[in-house]
Structure 1
Amino acid sequence: MSPTQPPYATVDPATGKVLKTFDTATDDQIAAAVAKADDAYRSWREQPLKDRVEVARNVGELFRKRATDLGELTRTEMGKKLDEGTGEVEFSASIFEFYADQAEALLADQRIPSFSGGTAVVQRRPVGVLLGVMPWNFPTYQVARFAAPNLVLGNTILLKHAESVPQCALAIADLMRDAGVPEGVYTNLFASFDQVETIINDPRVQGVSVTGSERAGATVAATAGRALKKCLLELGGSDPFIVLDGDARELARTAWEFRIYNMGQACNSNKRMIVADDLYEDFVAELVTLAGGLTPEDIAPLSSRRAAEILAAQVRDAVDKGATLHVGGDLCEAPAAFYTPAVLTGITPEMRAYTEELFGPVAVVYRVRDEDEAVALANSSAYGLGASVFSTDTARAENVAQRLEAGMVNVNTPAGEGPDIPFGGVKRSGFGRELGALGIDEFVNKQVYCVAD
């Protein structure tokens, strides 16, 4: 970003051209938005559940109707392939539909059967105004998984989206309004990080959800902690993809397809492929073939020139210290953000790639002798988002999977995904869960309600 460029800007990563800029909100606009969200909460929480559900269902319907337009906008702002962008929007629709369908069951009173002398239940009640700080890599999906359960529950939303996807942010806000979300119940804010701190410290704001980098999460969590506010963090990941036995080339194709999705810019992507010694050579050879066979039409840009340069520096550091770059790893000329998908082996602990998250299309492969070495390597990361284990012997894979330190562990599939599947991690990948039944339980008052006989 140039010194004179406003922080909220649409920059086409395929060309580096600045297409549109937006001013950051004023402090007065932030104050007015918080007040309006708090006022809206007083009425939104009192709406019958069926009315909130109807609005959520309308949101889902509009996401489906506008999937192509939103997919195009996502491609323009962060480089996502059109089919992946429209697929993301359709998945966002399914999240709203899930909570619309399941709201009554998920929010039903939970009776405490051991209580004597009357009745006692746990009620799930809203808590108030929430702040969401969202990332650029999935501009609609990340918003949907935060907003859908909380809107159904009766909370109100202030949404600070990533600075690089402002038109996506505005399009989502327009969609919410068109679907019948009342004014003040969902508000997009082009806020600065100083203003984020102000919002979190406001006594009317009851919690904050952050999806983003480890650094951003730690900063927001520190502010939330001082303000005694509930915080949900979904941060980075360096997920292991453990291959114990099977068809090496077929498993390599599975690994590559998952790794290359969204040009490798997914928190739960398989960033460390850990392969048994007897499969390793064939596995790597197949990855090299797949990467080398890509055409220019297959390769989308990364989200920004800066993102591409960071990834290139991480790979260069590894190669300079003895790693092998088998294919790819070419950074295009500035200001575009293309980086050719790569295969990297020979990573050792002194290299940045050993401990840092590689947020882009680089397959890093490790060779291991046995299950114990695979588990030790998988658990050596400071992150703990997802993990997967592959074997023709499911019981063997399950035994290894049970030893992994991650929030989401998968056997013979890269990831379990769906609006009903909770998402979240442990260690430095954050805490809390989104999606499914657990996702609606994060920002909720689990109120104990007793009535004596």
Structure 2
Amino acid sequence: MFSITNPFNQTFLSEYQYITDEQAISDVEICQKAYMGWKSKTVDDRLKFIKNLIFELENQKEILTKQCTLEMGKPLKQSVAEIEKCGKLCEYYIKNAEDFLSGKNITTDGSESYTTHEPLGVILGVMPWNFPYWQVFRFAIPAIIAGNTVCVKHASNVAGCGKLLEKLFKDAGFPQGVYKNLLISGKQVENVINSPIIKGVSLTGSEKAGASVASAAANLIKKSVLELGGSNAFVICKDANIDDAVETAVNARMQNTGQSCIAAKRFIVHESLYDSFVDKYKAKVADLVSGDPMDENTYIGPLARIDLAEDLEEQVNKSVEMGAKVVIGGKRKDAFYEPTIITGVTKDMPVFKEEVFGPVAPVISFKTFEEAVEISNDTEFGLGVTVFTEDIKEIKEKLHLFDEGAVFINALVKSDPALPFGGVKKSGYGRELAENGIKEFVNVKTVYIK
């Protein structure tokens, strides 16, 4: 039995009991039964259910957003934006899925050669709490359209969101078992992976969780996709438009109260713009409204749990002890942590070398572009990087220097349904979204006719 509390005021929300291992496998068997019928449907037939899902997303938007805000503290407007983004993902695949999954004719010495794309079976998703709907949708929707069925182990602190997601698919008319919520603990995940029914697993979460799940899947030679942590750099070159960079930097670091794997977590600023950036950024951060996430005017809510805020506080305090300076913020109360800017940062400090999951922005200066690249790459992660510059042509010629899954020029790193999403190094492997994402859990079958 475990309980969920509201991170804003620490009041009790609900109580849940994890299902047993036997119940979990029984649910997996329901997904397998559903798969036998679901895989035989055409892509067009599956997309009709996706259209129903879009309707239900809009119809149930209020209850979905409220549950997200209550359980993990996401400011209400940002919860609404998350639901709307899920709808856009569905619309993207409605337009493109048939083309992505169509086979290709290939010229060989045979009379006919081509490929087809066939689903693998039941896929397990292990999902995080920071975007409780969007993370699930970007895994589940392409997998389901491709003909797989999915079972999802959601983060325990958003168990209510997990239940609502299963209801959403049910209300959209999906056959029972196409989407199944598994209310299990992290310790129970390996038992589910071990089931011969499970044909693949996708995890979004911590490096530790990713290593555990990937190892369990690899031992059984099962496909896995990992979307793990990030420590994205936000590079501001000498010729950058400083005002545009500052405006973008606010959302890049502070949206979702800084709890995003693709948030900008290290600001690397040319020495000629450094002081100006810090001053302008400080002014913008000071204007951010913190408070009750149910208030539509709130931009900064609490962190999802008190222990997460305590971890963040420790990272900042240790960095200050090592010589860093807090320009603004730096204080915690319960699960709230003030939007914070830190200068005087060196590479050995926690706020630089560790992933910082909260509204804390370390700012570092550089002299040459080569130095900026070196600082940017000096991390175990490789999810994405933002580069602000007016010389687009030159930057395009230097993209290969960044060890990242994505480079965004004059824009914050974001997930877009049309763009492949994923990282390198300890940020994981595989890709979500776009054509790449819908093909992660399919068998690309080759057909050759003499």
After TM superposition, the score normalised by the length of structure 1 is 0.95
Residues 340-399 of structure 1 show CA distances to partners (whole Å, capped at 9, x for unaligned) of 100011122332122101101011111000101000000111100011111112123323
Matched, 1:330 2:328: no
| Match of residue 83 from structure 1 | 77
Matched, 1:155 2:153: no
RMSD of the alignment, in Å? 1.3
Matched, 1:34 2:35: no
1:131 match: secondary structure: strand
Q: Which amino acid aligns with 2:21?
A: D
How far did residue 417 of structure 1 move?
Answer: 4.0
| Match of residue 207 from structure 1 | 200
Residues 283-335 of structure 1 show CA distances to partners (whole Å, capped at 9, x for unaligned) of 01112212223343443111111111111110001001100111101101x3x
Any gaps of 5 or more consecutive residues in structure 2?
A: 292-297
Q: Which of the residues 381, 384, 390 maps onto 1:383?
A: 381
2:157 match: secondary structure: coil
| Match of residue 216 from structure 2 | 223
How far did residue 27 of structure 1 move?
Answer: 1.9
How far did residue 410 of structure 1 move?
Answer: 1.1
Matched, 1:119 2:107: no
Q: Does the 8 Å CA contact 1:384/1:426 hold for their aligned counterparts? A: yes
Q: Which of the residues 373, 378, 397 maps onto 2:395?
A: 397
Q: Which amino acid aligns with 2:121?
A: G
Residues 203-222 of structure 1 show CA distances to partners (whole Å, capped at 9, x for unaligned) of 11100000001111111111
More moved, 388-397 vs 36-45: 388-397
Return closer, same or farther for 1:381/1:367 CA change in 2, 3 Å cut-off.
same
Distance 2:63 2:25 in 1: 32
1:394-433 correspondence to structure 2 within 5 Å: 394-415=392-413, 417-433=415-431
Residues 171-197 of structure 1 show CA distances to partners (whole Å, capped at 9, x for unaligned) of 110000011111111110111223210
| Match of residue 240 from structure 1 | 233
Distance 2:110 2:127 in 1: 47
Q: Does the 8 Å CA contact 1:398/1:411 hold for their aligned counterparts? A: no
Matched, 1:259 2:253: yes
How far did residue 421 of structure 1 move?
Answer: 1.2
Q: Which amino acid aligns with 1:311?
A: L
Q: Which of the residues 2, 12, 16 maps onto 1:22?
A: 16
More moved, 33-42 vs 73-82: 33-42
After TM superposition, the score normalised by the length of structure 2 is 0.96
Q: Does the 8 Å CA contact 1:100/1:152 hold for their aligned counterparts? A: no
1:283 match: secondary structure: helix
Distance 1:61 1:210 in 2: 27
Q: Does the 8 Å CA contact 2:352/2:362 hold for their aligned counterparts? A: no
Q: Which amino acid aligns with 2:317?
A: R
Q: Does the 8 Å CA contact 2:399/2:407 hold for their aligned counterparts? A: yes
How far did residue 411 of structure 1 move?
Answer: 1.2
How high is the sequence identity, in percent, across the aligned residues? 38
| Match of residue 442 from structure 2 | 444
1:136-215 correspondence to structure 2 within 5 Å: 136-215=129-208
Q: Does the 8 Å CA contact 1:288/1:343 hold for their aligned counterparts? A: yes
How far did residue 32 of structure 1 move?
Answer: 0.7
Q: Does the 8 Å CA contact 2:72/2:304 hold for their aligned counterparts? A: yes
| Match of residue 296 from structure 1 | 290
How far did residue 239 of structure 1 move?
Answer: 0.4
Q: Which amino acid aligns with 1:330?
A: K
Return closer, same or farther for 1:288/1:117 CA change in 2, 3 Å cut-off.
closer
Distance 1:88 1:171 in 2: 15
Q: Does the 8 Å CA contact 1:389/1:401 hold for their aligned counterparts? A: no
| Match of residue 87 from structure 2 | 93
Residues 71-90 of structure 1 show CA distances to partners (whole Å, capped at 9, x for unaligned) of 11110000011111011011
Distance 1:447 1:439 in 2: 17
Distance 2:304 2:311 in 1: 12
Q: Which amino acid aligns with 2:195?
A: D
Distance 1:90 1:191 in 2: 28
Q: Does the 8 Å CA contact 1:109/1:124 hold for their aligned counterparts? A: yes
How far did residue 38 of structure 1 move?
Answer: 1.2
Return closer, same or farther for 1:418/1:296 CA change in 2, 3 Å cut-off.
closer
Distance 1:83 1:296 in 2: 13
Residues 214-233 of structure 1 show CA distances to partners (whole Å, capped at 9, x for unaligned) of 11111111111111111100
Residues 4-43 of structure 1 show CA distances to partners (whole Å, capped at 9, x for unaligned) of xx34x43100012221011001122112111111111111
Q: Which of the residues 47, 50, 54 maps onto 1:53?
A: 47
| Match of residue 270 from structure 2 | 276
| Match of residue 311 from structure 1 | 312
How far did residue 416 of structure 1 move?
Answer: 5.1
Distance 2:415 2:428 in 1: 19
Q: Does the 8 Å CA contact 1:276/1:369 hold for their aligned counterparts? A: yes
Q: Which of the residues 3, 6, 22 maps onto 1:12?
A: 6
Q: Which amino acid aligns with 2:157?
A: S
How far did residue 451 of structure 1 move?
Answer: 2.9
| Match of residue 3 from structure 1 | none
Q: Which amino acid aligns with 1:318?
A: S
How far did residue 253 of structure 1 move?
Answer: 2.1
How far did residue 402 of structure 1 move?
Answer: 3.1
Return closer, same or farther for 1:250/1:107 CA change in 2, 3 Å cut-off.
closer
1:315 match: secondary structure: helix
Distance 1:239 1:163 in 2: 27
Distance 2:290 2:233 in 1: 28
Q: Does the 8 Å CA contact 1:146/1:434 hold for their aligned counterparts? A: yes
Any gaps of 5 or more consecutive residues in structure 1?
A: 1-5
Q: Which amino acid aligns with 1:80?
A: K
Distance 1:295 1:49 in 2: 45
1:349-368 correspondence to structure 2 within 5 Å: 349-368=347-366
Q: Does the 8 Å CA contact 2:262/2:414 hold for their aligned counterparts? A: no
